[in-house]
Amino acid sequence: MTKWRLRRASPADAPAVALVAGASFLGTFAGILDGADIVAHVTRNSSAAQFAAWSVDPDSVVTLAEHPDGGAPVGYTLLTDPEFPIPVGADDIELRRIYTLPLAQGTGLGKLLMTRAIDDARAMGRNRLLLGVLGRNARARAFYERQGFAIAGRRQYRVGATLCDDLIYALPL
């Protein structure tokens, strides 16, 4: 069993988190979304500058997962204030991102990252964890449902020319 290292990311970690963000988004959505749209989306939403800003925002938490041999970045989570088209309260927080690179999938790192995100949300005084997932992503949906999340709504958004249908999941904390 791999002993993954998790730690809160700092602005100095932003390039590493952005690298994992781009690689994991590409790996997840290649063959589903247009390649140029993926690149544009990652460039706009997962830049090192954006992760640096989130890492110092008191209402956000960026957690970086590292390989125990050499410290290479292999996964991350991002907690932020929610941005959903459903009623949200001041005690809600969004797990905007939870990704691992393929070498870490199926190793328990996802569960470890989720546990850490839940612990961080509770430590921030939040009472409900929300997340959005592509409705047709059966593997991710099954993972969230195993963690106790239930569907709380739906949303649509664009990645380039593609209109994506997300399910919004909620977990009381």
Which residues have a catalytic role annotated? Answer: 144
Q: Which of 86, 18, 19 shows the shortest CA–CA distance to 54?
A: 18
Residue 17 tokens read as: 């988190």
Report strand pairing: 150-159 vs 162-172. antiparallel
CA distances (Å), 21 to each of 39, 42, 85, in order? Answer: 11, 8, 24
Task: Give long-range contacts, CB 8 A cutoff, 24+ apart: 143-151.
Answer: 143/110, 144/169, 145/169, 147/111, 147/114, 147/171
